[in-house]
Amino acid sequence: MTPEQILSDLIKINTVNPPGNETSAAVYLKQIFDDAGISNEIIESEKGRGNFIAHLGEGSKRLLFLSHTDVVPAGADWNDNPFSGSIYDNTVHGRGAMDCKGLAAAQASAMLNLARNKTPLNGTLIFAATADEEKGGDFGVKMLLDQHPDKLRCDFAINEGAEEPVQLGSKTIFFIQVGEKGTAWSRLVTRGKACHGSIPTIGENALVKMVCSIKDLSGYKPEIILIPEVKHLLTELSKIKGFGATVSPENADELINSLGDKSLSETLRSMTRMTVSPNVISGGEKINIVPDLCQAEVDIRVLPGQDLEYVLDELRKFVSREIEIEVFNYHEPTFSTSDTDYYRLIEKATGEVAGSGVICLPYISPGATDSRYLRLAGISAYGIGHMASGYDQSVKETVHGKNERIDIPSLKLRTDFLIALAREYLA
C-alpha cells in the first residue's frame, strides 16, 4: 500500500485524545501487516488504548521507527471534514496528516516495502505506532518502557519532532532533532483578604497582587545559552547568511532576527534560552467580593543543563517571596548527541533521497515528544520533519490547527528516507 492510502485510512479512524481509541488504528495496521506476513501485535494499556508493534528481520542490530496514532481535537471551520482523509491536489487532508499519522503511514509503508522486496536485513526493524503521545504518553511509550521494555529496545530510534526544511539562499536545510527542552509548568498563588467590593480598601485584593506579579514577570530577560549543537546550527546559518563564522550569546539575536522567517527565527530563539509564558489566570468568585485567592499557571521550558533549582532561582528574581510557587509538572530536558554514527547515517540517508546539496543540522525542540522517554531509558532518539522540495510552508500552521494536510511527494520522501536508513543500518 502507498503511504497516502495508509494515511487516508488512518485519518478516517477518529483517535482524538481524549479518549484516544487508538486500538481502532492498531487493528487497522494489524490487518495490513497480517496480510503482508509481518510479525506484529497490539498491546493495550487499558481497553481502547492500543499500541501497535511490528518486527521485521533478525539480528543484534535494532532500529526503531516510532510514531503515535492519537490526535488532538479538530475544532471548527475546516474546509473539509477533518476525518475524511480526502485526497486531492496531490495532498492528503485531515487531522493527523502532519502530527503524526503522516509519519506513521510513511513508517508502515517503508516496512511493508522492505518486506515485499524481501530486502535482507542483518538486524531487526521495529515499527511502533503508539497511544497517548498528545496527553503525555502514559498509555503509550511510557507504559511500554515500564512494562514491556524489550518491545522497544533498540540502538536508536527515528521519531517526529524536527522543524520542516527551510530554504536559505541556494541551500536547503533539513533539521534533525537531537534533543528537547524540558517542562517546568508552574503555578503562582497570591493570597489576600476578602471583603465587600463596595469598600475594597478594607480587604486585600489577591487578583491585583497577581496582576502586578505577572507584569513584573513579563520583564524577564532570559540568559542566552548556546549548547554545542545549537551553536553549530547557528554558526552554519551564519555562514549561509554571510555573517561570518563566529556566533556568541552577544550576537545570536542579531543573526536570528536576520533570517526573515518568523516561525524559524522564534523557534531558534527558544533554543537559546529558558522561556516563561503566563498562560492561565483565575481568581475571584463574584463581582462584589474582593478575591482572597488568585492563581496563575506559567508554561516554562528549560534547556539541557538547566534544572529545577535554576527555574526557581530565575523566577524569584521577578516574583516576590510572598508569592507561592508550585512546580506541578516537571520533565527534565533530554538529549542525544549528534556526534554519533547514527546521526551520520541519518545525514547520509537524507542526502540519498533529498539530494547531495541539502544540509542537515541538529535541532533542539521547544516542545515535547515521546523521544524523551526513550532518551531517559538510554536509547538515542532523533526526530525528523522531512518534506519534499517546494512543499507549501503554510502547512506548518495547520499542526494542532485547522485544515491540517501533507502533500504526497513529502510522504513519499519520508518513506524513501526510512527505507534508505533501514538498508544502510540493517542490510
Domain boundary pick from 331, 357, 381: 331
Give residue 263's pLDDT.
Answer: 86
6 and 103 Cβ atoms separated by less than 8 Å: no
Query: Do 277 and 371 reside in the same domain of the chain?
Result: no
Query: Do 72 and 87 reside in the same domain of the chain?
Result: yes
Counted domains in the chain: 2
Confidence of residue 244 (pLDDT cuts 50, 70, 90): confident
pLDDT digits (tens, 9 = 90+) for 33-56: 999 999 999 999 999 999 999 999
pLDDT score of 245 more than 80:
no
Confidence (pTM): 0.93
Query: Do 280 and 166 reside in the same domain of the chain?
Result: no
Give Cα separations from 174 to 157, 163, 198, 320, 421 (angstroms).
Answer: 18, 8, 61, 44, 15
pLDDT score of 366 more than 90:
yes
Query: Do 205 and 302 reside in the same domain of the chain?
Result: yes
Torsion sign over Cα 103, 105, 108, 109: negative
Strand blocks (E) in 238-317:
275-283, 293-302
Domain boundary pick from 305, 331, 357: 331
Query: Do 352 and 321 reside in the same domain of the chain?
Result: no
Confidence of residue 74 (pLDDT cuts 50, 70, 90): very high
Gap between the Cα atoms of 224 and 196, Å rounded: 46
Q: Phi, psi (5° rounding) for residue 232?
A: -65, -45
Query: Do 64 and 22 reside in the same domain of the chain?
Result: yes
Domain boundary pick from 299, 331, 363: 331
Give residue 59's pLDDT.
Answer: 93
Confidence of residue 241 (pLDDT cuts 50, 70, 90): confident
Range of the domain at 240: 182-331
User: Which CATH number belongs to the domain containing residue 106 in this structure?
Assistant: 3.40.630.10
Q: What's the chain's average pLDDT?
A: 96
247 and 255 Cβ atoms separated by less than 8 Å: yes
Gap between the Cα atoms of 252 and 406, Å rounded: 32
Percent of the chain whose predicted confidence (pLDDT) is above 70? 100
pLDDT top residue among 215 and 241: 215
Other beta carbons within 10 angstroms of residue 354's beta carbon come to 20
Give residue 208's pLDDT.
Answer: 97
Percent of the chain whose predicted confidence (pLDDT) is above 90? 94
Query: Do 18 and 164 reside in the same domain of the chain?
Result: yes
Listed in sequence order, the residues at least 6 apart from 79 whose beta carbon sits closer than 8 Å to its beta carbon are 93, 403
